[in-house]
Chain A
């Protein structure tokens, strides 16, 4: 099965363009080169639109735009219709019997409307019968032929965008891969048979129960046990789906966070540093106040220290000489005054002498008081003299403390600045939200894993119960002669269910094994580090694993380009195993692929192109010498060119 021709009319950049996919020599390999914006990817979209009615590879700025060529639609004028059409001509077998799919959309630019409106769309499949008569199938019928060509569930393995390959294992969940494998293997059909046989079986069992109350009781017991078992199995399946979904989310979030620093920890550290800086600022302020107070005290003492020292010297000297307090006893003079007689000569004291003695007494008393005051001041002066060095010492310590705190402040601030610098350019809120989500999904995974373990142990017990009650029921059936015919039917149905279940499991295991082998084979051909990687495997949940030659798993550590090659290998494997002999169309097949791997990938294209049709869409830079050297003699090369005057893309021969 191959595409012979693609005809696009009024479709996006293509006003009228036909691409013939003629074989070159024995290969069915086609290269279409086009600069960005000329409509290279829209070839992929045109094929998708024609077959499935949608365009999965549309550029963001084209989303919501009509499929029709905007200029043609605008120039069409009011009420005049424009037909947008894509025809995909195919050849189904070696007899080269022509057939084609065509999708038409009718657009009208209505009065008062700026945007043309689609007023209708139809899809048809044209083919010829053995007598050469044309047969036309429309809408749903035509779509069934698309399912024979490339089923919609498998199209991403046939028509894909190389730019998306490196993200493939980020987006492709185990569920997605298992869906594709189920589609490939058609095991859904066997599941359907099993489920329907179970329903028929249930009817037979009820019929058998009608023959005896014992059988009915045994049936009810079994059905009750089976219901409990099924409920737990259902919950286990839900748990496993939730675990798988959580693992997908964890992988996605880990990948999303892999390119960023540990923002959550950094934001937390920055918060801690902010608090620390506040504390340091407060401590510095307190220390400075304390220091200022001590400086004030010490400055007073320092300023008066010469006077203090001199006073201490004088006082100490006076004390040493016994001059302070003055060694004068006023009682003699007081006696003279009271008796009015001189104690030395016995003469009477006259008024003048008495006055003189009173003055003398007053001076003696004052001198005594001053002497006492000086004596009481002396220890205080000594204390000031002793305290000053202590205060100066404390001031020095405070100064050092402040300097230390300022140094700490400087380092803390520098660390904060460094974190701030690292965080610049990152959407902190988003990344912190990612980190929180990551923790949430890790918890969900752990909780559900625990629950699944618990359910598994319960299921073993319930299975035992159900088997026993089934055995009891069978024994009751055996005892009843009237049930013989139904019993035989039940055995027949059970045997059929057993066979379909076993066949389904074997098919899935077979496909899984083939995918592993083919993916490993293709990946080994594609990758230049051939001695580095070992096998590829799919686990029971259809998650892909890549192993290093030494046995360690390494999918999480390979580069985006290598991941792209692995996805490409997986895609080729799925394609090969699918058994659908349909073409592969790849947009930007070497995007993100390093030069070393480009020639490998080109050789794989050449090899695959011998057996089936491959259409590759490159930009000129992607169609580099590593690729073109391999493909130029083997591929039918074409070039897309935008005609600026008509703003439409046309095809011309490729001349390198």
Chain B
């Protein structure tokens, strides 16, 4: 898990918001739940407002 997050971190660079979003997905997926769509959309809704798409 840490290795995955390290690699994501190196890809995301300074975009901490995207990192936090993906970290949440990684933690969510490591529990392997079957249901995901609403959870993903809900997470996107939470993160999207503060996201600067230019990064």
Answer whether A and B are interacting partners: yes
Chain A residues packing against B (C-beta within 8 Å): 185-187, 189-190, 192-193, 196-197, 199-200, 203, 488-489, 491-493, 495-496, 499-500, 502-503, 506-507, 510, 579
* Distance in Å: Cβ of B12 to nearest Cβ of chain A: 6
Query: Does A186 lie within 8 Å of B4, measured CB to CB?
Result: yes
Query: Does A500 lie within 8 Å of B22, measured CB to CB?
Result: yes
Query: Does A495 lie within 8 Å of B7, measured CB to CB?
Result: no
Number of A-B contacts (CB under 8 A): 67
Docked Cα-Cα span, A499 to B12, in Å, equals 7
Query: Does A200 lie within 8 Å of B22, measured CB to CB?
Result: no
Docked Cα-Cα span, A647 to B10, in Å, equals 61
30 inter-chain pairs at a CB distance below 8 angstroms, sorted by A residue, are: A185-B3, A185-B4, A186-B4, A189-B4, A189-B29, A189-B30, A192-B29, A193-B26, A193-B29, A196-B36, A196-B37, A196-B40, A200-B41, A203-B41, A488-B53, A491-B53, A492-B44, A492-B53, A493-B44, A495-B18, A496-B21, A496-B22, A499-B8, A499-B11, A499-B18, A499-B22, A500-B8, A503-B10, A510-B7, A579-B3
Query: Does A186 lie within 8 Å of B1, measured CB to CB?
Result: yes
Cβ contacts under 8 Å, A491 to chain B: 53
Docked Cα-Cα span, A572 to B51, in Å, equals 44
The interface bits of chain B over 20-38 (1 if a CB of A lies within 8 angstroms of the residue's CB, else 0) are 0110011001100000110
Docked Cα-Cα span, A200 to B36, in Å, equals 9
Query: Does B11 lie within 8 Å of A506, measured CB to CB?
Result: yes
- The prevalent SS among residues of A at the interface is helix
Chain B contact residue count (CB 8 A cutoff): 24
Tell whether A200 pairs with B10 under 8 Å between CB atoms, given A193-B29, A492-B53, A499-B18: no
Docked Cα-Cα span, A190 to B47, in Å, equals 19
Nearest B residue (CB) for A494: B53
Nearest A residue (CB) for B47: A492
Docked Cα-Cα span, A502 to B10, in Å, equals 10
Docked Cα-Cα span, A192 to B10, in Å, equals 20
Tell whether A190 pairs with B44 under 8 Å between CB atoms, given A492-B53, A499-B11: no
Cβ contacts under 8 Å, B22 to chain A: 193, 496, 499-500
Docked Cα-Cα span, A341 to B48, in Å, equals 166
Query: Does B48 lie within 8 Å of A189, measured CB to CB?
Result: no
Cβ contacts under 8 Å, B25 to chain A: 193, 496
Which of A186, A190, A203 contacts B37, CB < 8 Å? A203
Tell whether A506 pairs with B7 under 8 Å between CB atoms, given A193-B29, A488-B48: yes
Nearest B residue (CB) for A192: B29
Docked Cα-Cα span, A219 to B46, in Å, equals 26
Tell whether A197 pairs with B11 under 8 Å between CB atoms, given A488-B48, A489-B48, A496-B18: no
Cβ contacts under 8 Å, A192 to chain B: 29
Cβ contacts under 8 Å, A500 to chain B: 8, 22
* Distance in Å: Cβ of A143 to nearest Cβ of chain B: 14
Cβ contacts under 8 Å, A203 to chain B: 37, 41
Docked Cα-Cα span, A203 to B36, in Å, equals 13
Cβ contacts under 8 Å, A189 to chain B: 4, 26, 29-30
Tell whether A507 pairs with B44 under 8 Å between CB atoms, given A189-B26, A193-B22: no
Cβ contacts under 8 Å, A579 to chain B: 3
